[in-house]
Structure 1
């Protein structure tokens, strides 16, 4: 019996050993599969957003950096999103100045959340000490090596393991130098290994001047960086009311059945300024109002107004739906475009005497899909007009069987005021108080200044820079989205550039060319008479 047990025992041990080996092999296979899946996951879901952070502002001595980028960083710092134990800020530009000189240049633009001066603020002095300046050219390898040395010394001082830090490069630069700067960063300033850190770049608009130049620029940057590392910033996507659009549309039951061609007659997306180019004439003349405002800012807003509900709030799912909208836009018809140029624009010494550049444009877009077939989307932008505002105006169709005879007063409209005086209000017809059965237009009003007293609405740049640090690309423009946007506007832009379409002159301080109002009427927009929305006062 004992001999038989001795013979059986080795077999049992062998079987147990085989099982262990199989389990071990399965475990190793599972780990390999998980590693592969981890590699395929988006960066923001796998990389911890902690540790040493270096923010590099390229073009640090320019207007954009001192008026927008540095103030946004300062407000993030004051709110605790840029802990001084983790963060250091580097300025890089061609101008040969000292650290203190850069600090003094931006000092006056760093204010409190309410716009008050902070000359003697402890926060301000501590923030300024985080800033270091490096001088060098945008195609200068030696300059970028010096920049990398300064960044590495900062990381070393924080006891950061090489390659585990975070490096954010903000391009406050003209697009012409994007390729050379991207190449220098890739050669000289990247993290040296993959230990949980990252390198990301933020590029400002304009992303090219037409489809070909945009694609060329995207290809040049795309050869050096993955799409997950590129953040194409459009500051309109950071505005509070623009951020609210998805919540309004998809979290409120009463909007869902109304948001379609059966109920909506037309949609206007408007950007108006009450001043001209004011010293930017030379720059503006290269681009014009369509490239500067409509093709990017207003078109991004259109996508959020018109898109279908994404399957989740993941950035890629939202951006997928935006691309579908752009790909559904029909070619623009000549008769649905009005161009204008304000009188006196060419008197700017930096503007050519015979400039054909529009300072005003109204463009009607048509979306060819089930939800929006037949609904005109009217994009309107202009300078030197009679008011300053940006808003979305959704106009509903007339009430059938109008027993109150009130159609002449105007239609129901849902208005989202993006700036200034952020608000949302619904224009509707009500009975006028009194003994008579007469109607008037009034509103259901959510004005942010009144409803959210004491709440500071963050600047768009603050939100978007924070999103970049967190690795959230939801509010940034993807490459295929950019291509689809340029495909819509490139044909008409080429015709303007070739002189085939001429802008009409309009007086500064007016509504723009009269032809624009005529186009609105042809598109079906009904002007409200006898009613003006007045923002509530505190």
Structure 2
């Protein structure tokens, strides 16, 4: 089965920070894959803009190397790559000065969709927005894309929103979170709201608890300076995990539209109860063999910043009263894995005399939504073990790995590919709204302030493990256990 490709309107996309890591690693290789899929119109243009001094030919050579490095398979089609690169141009721009803006104004066409990707630090968002209007490059139909981090607390998020709102309407601002572009994340809404099978059971009467895990095997790498000022709470929980929580917990919107979906997500954030201190576990990875520990990676021997966090949350509404949500994310863990586990309650009464079905290990249904590395879903169901006498029960998974279920040629677009095409279409459904960002920071800030007030120190955990022992105890105290972290 080959997915249907829907072409987009002719567009000019300006990528500020067009020579940076994100542009070379994700944005431009992703756009090339959309070009190969036939989704980019032949007259679409991509304009790189940055401080570096390139001409068009030099910039095309840079991106040719980037595509070859980060998407070697696609780069083998040299004819298509040449065609894609021909649609690229470059202008040297000073985000806080005057250089390059008049040139950029002559390159951007007035009669096509105009999108501006701010692939730069948030400190430049306001400057770019101001100059786009000062030089009359953007108009009321233009769109801007802004990357995280969108602030580091509520006050800075409000300031950023105000800077952008001074020049762009909320309907023009696309705050991107690549997790929302993943095929499985969107399928979560399809599974919930497109199937009568699940929605009647999607509440505290039938669901025991929900786990959200985003585990990474890598350390902070070259991001040490940024990460040590942010930590897992700001870098992952406040945005990525919060978005997953909203999608899994929200009420059905009246339609699949931008404001309808985002209104329901906002209600979830506002219904989050304050988290008690003993329901949070923070950790820092230690050294292992020839790998440095966290403090060595960030070059701060006294750092109290967390590289791991686990927490137990409650949502104060009728649907989820009494059902806990467990969130967990960390670096340098045993495997790369991002998944959501919906653990249903056991049957109220078992008619089978099965010694493996005990109070501590009941047979129950578990829906696992795997976001990466292998996107798909499994549903654990209870059956009789084949070939055994009596009624010995076992759990087996109904597996729907997308690559296998949909067949060859059904490879889903990368998250950035999908989201950028949504920007061109003018579809904001999978992008965060300003009040949503501020509500998330309003919930996050008191937690961080509590750590600072208590001089909280993260627990050290072994690199390559499942995290601190205290995180296991967070579940064990409730007579539950985490799903195993595995690829």
Q: Aligned-pair distance for 1:166?
A: 2.1
- Counterpart in 2 of 1:306? 249
- Counterpart in 1 of 2:437? 482
Q: Aligned-pair distance for 1:399?
A: 2.1
Aligned partners of 2:342 and 2:317: how far apart in 1?
18
- Counterpart in 1 of 2:412? 457
Aligned partners of 1:205 and 1:191: how far apart in 2?
22
Corresponding position: 1:346 with 2:304:
no
Bigger Rg, structure 1 or 2:
1
SS at the partner of 1:441?
A: strand
State how 1:316-465 maps to structure 2 within 5 Å.
316-343=259-286, 344-348=293-297, 350-404=298-352, 405=354, 406-407=357-358, 408=361, 410-437=363-390, 438-454=392-408, 455-465=410-420
Aligned partners of 1:478 and 1:319: how far apart in 2?
7
SS at the partner of 2:142?
A: strand
- Counterpart in 2 of 1:225? 168
Corresponding position: 1:293 with 2:232:
no
Corresponding position: 1:216 with 2:164:
no
- Counterpart in 1 of 2:135? 188
Question: Deviation digits for residues 377-432 of structure 1, max 9, x if unmatched?
Answer: 11110000011110000111122223434132653211001111111111122211
Corresponding position: 1:64 with 2:22:
yes
8 A contact 1:267–1:393 mirrored in 2:
yes
Corresponding position: 1:170 with 2:117:
yes
8 A contact 1:362–1:380 mirrored in 2:
yes
8 A contact 2:9–2:41 mirrored in 1:
no
- Counterpart in 2 of 1:494? 449
Q: Aligned-pair distance for 1:533?
A: 11
Q: Aligned-pair distance for 1:71?
A: 1.1
8 A contact 1:356–1:496 mirrored in 2:
no
- Counterpart in 1 of 2:290? none
- Counterpart in 2 of 1:519? 474
Number of equivalenced pairs: 468
Corresponding position: 1:508 with 2:463:
yes
8 A contact 1:382–1:512 mirrored in 2:
yes
Q: Aligned-pair distance for 1:118?
A: 2.0
Question: Deviation digits for residues 52-81 of structure 1, max 9, x if unmatched?
Answer: x21100001110110011111111222222
SS at the partner of 1:449?
A: helix
8 A contact 1:332–1:488 mirrored in 2:
no
SS at the partner of 1:219?
A: helix
Question: Deviation digits for residues 110-160 of structure 1, max 9, x if unmatched?
Answer: 269985152551110111121111112111233222211222xxx3xxxxx
Aligned partners of 2:479 and 2:157: how far apart in 1?
34
State how 1:138-149 maps to structure 2 within 5 Å.
138-149=95-106
SS at the partner of 1:476?
A: coil
Aligned partners of 1:516 and 1:366: how far apart in 2?
17
Aligned partners of 1:322 and 1:498: how far apart in 2?
30
Structure possessing the higher relative contact order (Cα contacts under 8 Å, 6 or more residues apart): 2
Which region of structure 1 is more displaced relative to structure 2, 515-524 or 262-271?
Answer: 515-524
- 4+ residue runs of structure 1 moved beyond 4 angstroms? 111-115, 532-535
Aligned partners of 1:117 and 1:464: how far apart in 2?
20
8 A contact 2:335–2:486 mirrored in 1:
no
Q: Aligned-pair distance for 1:241?
A: 0.4
8 A contact 1:266–1:525 mirrored in 2:
no
- Counterpart in 2 of 1:27? none
- TM-score between both structures, scaled by the size of structure 1: 0.83
8 A contact 2:209–2:325 mirrored in 1:
yes
8 A contact 2:25–2:70 mirrored in 1:
no
Aligned partners of 1:62 and 1:403: how far apart in 2?
62
Runs of 5+ in structure 2 lacking a partner?
1-6, 287-292
Aligned partners of 1:105 and 1:516: how far apart in 2?
44
- Counterpart in 2 of 1:37? none
8 A contact 1:103–1:128 mirrored in 2:
yes
8 A contact 1:327–1:484 mirrored in 2:
yes
Aligned partners of 1:296 and 1:363: how far apart in 2?
15
Aligned partners of 2:146 and 2:334: how far apart in 1?
33
8 A contact 2:475–2:482 mirrored in 1:
no
Aligned partners of 1:212 and 1:78: how far apart in 2?
43
CA change 1:49–1:92 in 2 (3 A) is same
8 A contact 1:303–1:326 mirrored in 2:
yes
Q: Aligned-pair distance for 1:248?
A: 0.5
Q: Aligned-pair distance for 1:237?
A: 0.6
CA change 1:112–1:444 in 2 (3 A) is farther
Q: Aligned-pair distance for 1:474?
A: 0.3
CA change 1:524–1:482 in 2 (3 A) is farther
State how 1:95-174 maps to structure 2 within 5 Å.
95-110=52-67, 116=73, 118-119=75-76, 121-151=78-108, 155=109, 163-174=110-121
- TM-score between both structures, scaled by the size of structure 2: 0.91
8 A contact 1:336–1:363 mirrored in 2:
yes
Aligned partners of 2:342 and 2:76: how far apart in 1?
44
Aligned partners of 1:288 and 1:300: how far apart in 2?
18
SS at the partner of 1:109?
A: helix
Q: Aligned-pair distance for 1:165?
A: 2.7
Aligned partners of 1:449 and 1:82: how far apart in 2?
24
